[in-house]
Amino acid sequence: MSTNRFKVDAKIAGLLGENYRSSEHALRELVDNAWDADSKNVWISLPLLPSPNADDFKVVFMDDGTGMTTEEVRSEYMTIARNRRERKGDNTSIGRLVKGRKGIGKFAGLFVGSTMRLETIARGKKTVLTIEKDELSKARKDIEDIDFPIEVYDCNEDDGTTIIIYNINQNLLYPNPDKLKLILIMEYGRQDNFNIYVNNEKLDVTDVKGKSFDYEEIISDLGNIHLRFVLSETSHKLRQPGISIRVGGKTVGKPTFFDIDKNNPDIPSKLLKKLYGEVEADELLDYVTADWGAVIENSRAYSALHSFASNKIENAIRDAYKNEISLAKARMQKQIHIELQRLPEYKRDYAKKALDKVINNFYSLPEQKIRALISVVLDTIEKDEYWEVIKALDKAQHSDVSSFADALNLFGLVELAMMSKQTASRLNFLSKLQQLVDDPKTEEKEIHKAIETNLWILGPEYSIMSSNVTLRTVVKRITGKNHYEGQYANNRPDLLLTQNVLGHYLLIEFKRPSHSLSRTDIAQAADYRQEITPFLTGSAIDIIVLGGKSKIDSLYDPGEKIKILTFNDVISSASSTLNWLLTQLTNNNSSYNF
């Protein structure tokens, strides 16, 4: 037995301090090393818990790559922070793009457990090296002085490397097989001649979290095909979404959507980006281009595959997401109904279609953002100049095809331009409102006047509410009584709004921007609510108290339905939402100048 010492590069201090997000991400680093070693197969065995056998509490990692000779272990593996790309180039011997860069992936196992045993075989020799994390920790400044035993044996086994990790870190959850599969499928799911097995189960497209589909049929002009795909439910962005075409086990070209994205404009692109799968069609071999970059598209075989796959995938997407879209529409329906009533009747049909389009495309966004979109869309449709474009579009439909196509294009540009203009106008309003708030001379009545017809600044759910000139008018309209003689009739809050989408009334108490809200302000609004509640039988009354500063939020139970807000908070929140919307509109139309 001989001994050897690590040769420390100057970058060691910073690099050894790096951590991994999870045990699963650390194990992926070992898979990267196997990839760089030109392995065709990787086997990962994780602890299966609970287990009474102490030997089960370890992670075993094996690959059938090139392995390392004893000299390579000494001169390369034992040199920390040595960049493989600098030594051997950007590609492996079989043409793979090298993943290892920093030269510290060898330590990934020590994130999972405190003992790592390396067994690597090359040219008839097995080289064994054991690394103890505690030994490294004790000698951070003198790591070159630690002796690490290296054992060498004659061996007739195939080349490859095995890493065994013992003493699993008890401060972390044990590596999760499903989570590890998901991480690995994102990185290696599209690779040919590289198979990964986790607890003896081969990594598969169905390891992507979501609803999976599997079709195997014999088709005329094509023969046997096997289509498998998943509609992802993971929050992780899929790398190369779509369907890979595999012929004889080899991938042809890039993943495809089989023109579903082009032929179905009503299917949001974000849904297609959740599609991940592959189709095996060995009978396409005669129609694959020489560089394996594509299939000859006008062949009968590809036409049959295209028809079959696009039909199955489209139906799966529509079935899987129609319920989600329907639920999103149902949540918004009350707001939409109330919003539509404020439009002239001749505009409502079109407005309804426009809102359906918004929900179909943005249903997965938080409800607050969808409500903001609805509000801006309807404000846009309400503009007369926008309506003139809609009428021109309808007229063009009855003329020649070319004119109709031009009108459609113009409509799309104007539609988005108007929404951008409306959003920018609201941002400009907020800027002016901020100036008013910053002026110490501003009184309650001036703030009231500025906000009364711009209720969207409080949130999209309030944009459809209408204010009334006097409280007496509200009470008379709701209760049928001619007057209101309550205790606080002459000292009423500044604004009472009619019902919102939840069926609640809203009572707003404005204070001047220079005023710091106190317990007295909140108590006054609460007392007033109690006074008018008998006139609004069965209806909840929410309260918003607006002022310059506040430190009293924690003193009030959310169940009391009292919001204590500052003008700066309201303006900041509204600005954030509008800037997000303007960014979306700009990104979707970067090729046009509005």
Q: CATH code at 285?
A: 3.30.230
Does residue 437 belong to any structural domain of this protein? no
For residue 17, the model assigns a pLDDT of 40
Residues 177-192 have pLDDT tens digits of 888 988 888 788 888 8
Domain boundary among 145, 177, 198: 198
Domain end among 157, 181, 198: 198
Residue 305 lies inside a defined structural domain of this protein: yes
pLDDT grade for 38, boundaries at 50, 70 and 90: very high
The H or E element spanning position 547 is: strand 541-547
Task: Give 560's pLDDT tier (boundaries 50, 70, 90).
Answer: low
User: pLDDT value at position 361?
Assistant: 67
8 Å CB contact between 16 and 88 = no
Q: What is the pLDDT of residue 92?
A: 84
Strand 562-566 with 541-547, pairing: parallel
Nearest CA to 532 out of 593, 491, 576, 582 is that of 491
Alpha-carbon distance of 510 to 547, in angstroms, equals: 6
pLDDT at 408: 45
Q: Are residues 388 and 406 in the same domain?
A: yes
Looking at the fold, whether 23 and 104 belong to one and the same domain comes out as yes
**Same domain, yes or no: 152 and 63:** yes
Mean pLDDT score, 259-269: 81
pLDDT for the residue 151? 92
Range of the domain at 270: 204-315
| Judgement on whether residues 135 and 20 belong to the same structural domain of the protein | yes
* Mean pLDDT for the stretch of residues 439-453: 81
Are 415 and 453 members of one domain? no
Is 481 inside a domain boundary?
yes
Q: Are residues 425 and 454 in the same domain?
A: no
User: Residue 122: its pLDDT value, please?
Assistant: 93
pTM over 0.85: no
* Type and span of the H or E element at 198: strand 195-198
pLDDT band (50, 70, 90) for residue 213: very high
359 band by pLDDT with thresholds 50, 70 and 90: confident
- CA distance linking residue 379 with residue 370, whole number of Å: 14
Q: Is position 576 within any domain?
A: no
- Return the CATH number at 117: 3.30.565.10
Q: Sorting pLDDT into bands at 50, 70 and 90, what band is 140? A: low
The CATH number linked to 499 is 3.40.1350
Q: How much is the pLDDT for 291?
A: 81
User: Which residue, chain included where needed, has tokens 């979501």?
Assistant: 210
Q: Is the pLDDT of residue 365 over 60?
A: yes
Q: What is the mean pLDDT of residues 414-435?
A: 74
**Token pair of 197 as six digits:** 């097995």
Mean pLDDT confidence for 319-348:
75
* 360 sits in which H/E element: helix 345-362
Buried b (16+ CB within 10 A) or exposed e, 245-277: bbbeeeebeebbbbebbeebeebbeebbebbbb
Tell me the C-alpha distance between 202 and 46, whole Å: 14
Q: How far is CA 455 from the centre of its chain?
A: 30
Q: How far is CA 582 from CA 367, 384, 433, 575, in A?
A: 17, 22, 19, 10
- What is the structure's pLDDT at 405? 47
Across the chain, what does the average pLDDT equal? 76
pLDDT of residue 152: 92
- What is the CA 413 to chain-centroid distance, rounded? 28
User: In this predicted model, which residue has the larger pLDDT, 4 or 125?
Assistant: 125
In angstroms, the CA 510 to CA 524 distance is 12
Indicate the burial class of 60 (C-beta count within 10 angstroms; 0-12, 13-18, 19 or more): middle
For residue 322, the model assigns a pLDDT of 74
Higher pLDDT residue, 311 or 554? 311
Tally Cβ neighbours within 10 Å of residue 4: 16
221 Ramachandran zone, left/alpha/beta (phi>0; psi -120 to 50): left
Structural domain contains residue 594 = no
Percentage, residues of the chain above pLDDT 70: 71
* 439 domain residue, yes or no: no
Find the farthest-apart pair of alpha carbons in the chain and give their distance in angstroms, rounded. Answer: 104
The answer to whether residues 510 and 394 belong to one domain is no
Q: Is the pLDDT of residue 14 over 50?
A: no
Confidence class for position 9, pLDDT limits 50, 70, 90: very low
Which helix (H) or strand (E) segment holds residue 562: the answer is strand 562-566
Provide mean pLDDT across the span 409-418. 52
User: What angle, 0 to 180 degrees and rounded to 10, lies between the N-to-C axes of helices 300-341 and 367-382?
Assistant: 70
The arithmetic mean of pLDDT across residues 327-336, rounded, is: 73
Q: Per mean pLDDT, which range of 107-116, 146-155, 426-435, 546-555 is the poorest?
A: 546-555
Answer whether residue 567 shows pLDDT above 50. Answer: yes
Higher pLDDT, 370 or 122: 122
Tell me whether residue 575 is in a domain. no
pLDDT of residue 276: 92
**Tokens encoding 247:** 């012929």
Residue showing tokens 């992507």: 208
In a shared domain, residues 113 and 51: yes
| pLDDT band at 404; cut points 50, 70, 90 | very low
The verdict on 425 and 456 lying in the same domain is no
Q: How far apart are CA 331 and CA 303, in angstroms?
A: 41
Tell me, yes or no, whether 354 and 481 share the same domain.
no
Distance between CA atoms of residues 212 and 207, nearest Å: 9
**Which tops the pLDDT comparison, 473 or 217?**
217
Q: What is the pLDDT of residue 588?
A: 54
**Same-domain pairing of 209 and 193:** no
Most confident listed range (204-218, 377-391, 475-489, 567-581): 204-218
Domain total in the chain:
4
Query: Same domain for 9 and 140?
Result: yes
What average pLDDT does the segment 225-248 reach?
87
- Highest mean pLDDT (candidates 243-252, 318-327, 358-367, 464-473): 243-252
Number of other residues whose CB lies within 10 A of the CB of residue 69: 19
The stretch 522-549 carries a mean pLDDT of 79
More confident residue, 527 or 560: 527
Q: Sorting pLDDT into bands at 50, 70 and 90, what band is 103?
A: low
Q: Is residue 577 part of a domain?
A: no
Last residue of a domain, one of 169, 198, 227: 198
pLDDT tens digit sequence for 266-283: 777 777 888 999 999 999
> If pLDDT is split at 50, 70 and 90, which confidence band does 594 have?
very low
> What's the pLDDT score for residue 83?
62
